[in-house]
Amino acid sequence: MSSVSPPATSRRWLALALIATAQFVVIMDTSIIGVALPEIQADLGFSQGDLSWVFNAYVVAFGGLLLLGGRLSDLFGARRLFGIGWAVLLAGSVVAGAANSVAVELTGRAVQGAGAALIAPAALTLLMMLFGAEPRELTKALAIYGAAAPAGGTAGVFLGGVITEYVSWPWVFYVNVPIAIVALVAAPALMPSGGAGARGGVDLLGALTVTAGLGAAVYAIVRAPEAGWASASTWLWLAAAVVLLGVFVAIQAARREPLMRLSIFRTPNLGAANLAQVLLGGAWIPMWFFLNLYLQQVLGYSAFPSGAALIPMTALIMIGMIGLAPRAIGRFGPKAMIVTGLAILAAGMAWLSLIRPDGSFWVDVLPASLLAALGMSLAFIPSLGTAISSARPEEGGLASGIVNTSYQIGSALGLAAMTAVASAFGADQLGDLDALTDGFSAAFLGASGIALAGALLAAVTLRSRQPATAGQSG
C-alpha cells in the first residue's frame, strides 16, 4: 500500500463517508422492499411462493458475485470497480422500479445485486488503502463502516414503509438513483488511485459455479417448507448445490489464477474470522426479519411505526460500534470481543424468544433487542477487521470479497433456515396470533443457537492477538 498516495486528511474522512454510504445502501437494498412486497405482488402478479425472490434475487447475486468483485478490484483497481458498481446498481434500480412483469422485476433485482457485489469489496479495499497504515485510525474507520450496515437495514424498513405508504412502491428502487449519481461524481475526486497490483485473468467459470451453487442452496431451503424436506425436488436442489460448489472448489484448486486462492485460508485467523461472520449474519438477519413481522403481524404495528420501533436498537449498534467496540478491542483484543459479542447476541435472542401474543414493545421487544444489539456491535467490527487485515495487501480485494460473501451467504441461509423453522411452528398461519408467536419464537431461539455456536467456534478457532495490534493491517 506504500505506493498509494492517500488524499489529505479532510478528504480522507469525506472518502470514508462515501464508503460508509456505499455499505449503507447495499444493505438498505436488502430490507427496503419488505413493506412494499404486497403492492409489488398485486401489481406484477407474483405468486405467494415466488414473492420471496424479490429479496433472494438480490441477495444471491450479491453474495454469489462478491468473490468476482473482489478479484476484479485487485486486477483493475478498487476506485474503478467502485464507480462501475454504482453504475450497475443505478441501472438495476431503474429496471426494478420500471418493471411491469415478474421476470423484469427479478432481473432488475439481480442487476442491483451484481452492482452491490462490485461496490462492497472495492469499498473495503479503499478503506484499507486509506487507513490501513494507521491501526488506531483503521479501527475507527471500520467502526463507522460497520455501523452503516445496521443503519442501512433499519433505514430500509423505515423508508420502505414511508415510501410505500405515501408515494408508490417503484420509489423504493428509484431512491438509489440520486445517491448513485452523487457517488459517481464524488468518487474520482475523493478515492485513492492505485490498488491494481494483482496479475492474471478472471475466473468466470468459478464465478458462475459459485453463484449457481449458492442460489441452488438458498432455493432449496426457501422452498422446502412448501415442497417438503423429504421431497425429491428439495434433495435434488440440495444435491445440485453441493455438486456446483464442489466443482467451484475443484476449479479453484486446479487453476493457476483462481477466483479464490484456497491457500488464503491457511492465513492465521482468516478462516476463523470469516466463519464468525457467517454465523453472525446467520443469526442477526433472521432476528431482524422476524422481529419486524412480530411487530406488524402480532402487535399490530403499521409500516411506519414498525420501522420506528427498530430505531433504538439501531442507535445502540451505531453507538456501540463507533464508541465502545474500538476501545474494547484495544483493551481486550479482537478474539475476546468476538466471543463475548456472539454470546451476548445469543442471550438477547433467547430473551426475544419469550415474546407473547398479547405482549408489548416495551416489555417483549425493547430490552431483549437492545441486548442483542449490544452483542452485534461488539462482535461485528473485530471479526470484520480480523478477516480483512489477515490477508496480504495485494489480496485486499479478495479478502474483502470473502468476508462480504461470508456475511451475506450466512444471512441468506440463516434466514431461509429460520423461515423453515418458523413455518413448522405456525408462522404461516396468518391471523392466528398464538401460532404466529410460536413460530416467531422458534425462529428467535434457532437464531440464538446459531449465535451461540458462533461464540463457541470462535473461542476454539481464533488465535489470540495482542490488543495493541488488533487493528493493524496485514
188 with 220, same domain? Answer: no
Q: Residue 304 CA to chain centroid, in angstroms?
A: 23
Summarize the confidence of residues 332-344 as an average pLDDT.
94
- Is the residue at 3 inside a domain? no
Domain count for the chain, please give it. 2
Expressed as residue numbers, the domain containing 247 is: 203-258
Give the pLDDT of residue 196.
53
135 with 229, same domain? Answer: no
Give the pLDDT of residue 279.
94
pLDDT tier at 8 (50, 70, 90 boundaries)?
A: low
Domain boundary, last residue among 213, 243, 258: 258
The secondary structure of residue 99, as a DSSP letter, is -
310 with 378, same domain? Answer: yes
CATH for 350: 1.20.1250.20
- Is the residue at 99 inside a domain? yes
Q: Which of 152-161, 348-357, 457-466 has the highest mean pLDDT?
A: 348-357
Q: How many CB atoms lie within 10 A of CB 466?
A: 8
357 with 419, same domain? Answer: yes
- Is the residue at 4 inside a domain? no
- CA gap 341, 328 in Å, rounded: 11
- Is the residue at 79 inside a domain? yes
180 with 253, same domain? Answer: no
60 with 112, same domain? Answer: yes
133 with 253, same domain? Answer: no
Domain boundary, last residue among 219, 240, 258: 258
Give the pLDDT of residue 299.
92
43 with 62, same domain? Answer: yes
Side-chain-side CA neighbours of 264 within 13 Å: the count stands at 28
- Is the residue at 424 inside a domain? yes
Q: Residue 219 CA to chain centroid, in angstroms?
A: 18
SS3 label, residue 69: helix
- Is the residue at 474 inside a domain? no
Q: Cα–Cα distances in Å, from 420 out to 4, 117, 473?
A: 48, 27, 40
The secondary structure of residue 256, as a DSSP letter, is S
Q: How high does pLDDT run on average in the chain?
A: 84
Domain boundary, last residue among 214, 240, 258: 258
319 with 303, same domain? Answer: yes
- CA gap 338, 280 in Å, rounded: 10
Residue 184's H or E segment, with its range, is helix 176-190
The string of pLDDT tens digits covering residues 79-135 is 999 999 999 999 999 999 999 998 999 999 999 999 999 998 899 889 888 887 787
- H helices then E strands: how many in the chain? 18, 0
- Is the residue at 1 inside a domain? no
Give the pLDDT of residue 373.
92
Rounded to two decimals, the pTM is: 0.78
Alpha helices in 320-395 (DSSP H): 325-332, 334-352, 366-389
Choose among 280, 319, 79, 267: nearest CA to 183: 79
The secondary structure of residue 463, as a DSSP letter, is P
Choose among 350, 348, 351, 321: nearest CA to 337: 321
146 with 239, same domain? Answer: no
Ranges 49-58, 67-76, 365-374: which has the least confidence = 49-58
Mark 330-339 as b/e (b = at least 16 C-beta within 10 Å). Answer: beebbbbbbb
Side-chain-side CA neighbours of 167 within 13 Å: the count stands at 15
Give the pLDDT of residue 187.
92
Choose among 194, 182, 207, 206: nearest CA to 89: 182
Summarize the confidence of residues 308-315 as an average pLDDT.
83
Give the pLDDT of residue 197.
55
- Is the residue at 427 inside a domain? yes
Residue 424 grid coordinates = 413448522
- CA gap 333, 240 in Å, rounded: 41
- CA gap 302, 172 in Å, rounded: 17
- CA gap 31, 343 in Å, rounded: 25
* Residue 221 confidence (pLDDT) above 60: yes
171 with 275, same domain? Answer: yes
196 with 216, same domain? Answer: no
Alpha helices in 201-324 (DSSP H): 204-227, 232-254, 270-293, 303-309, 311-319
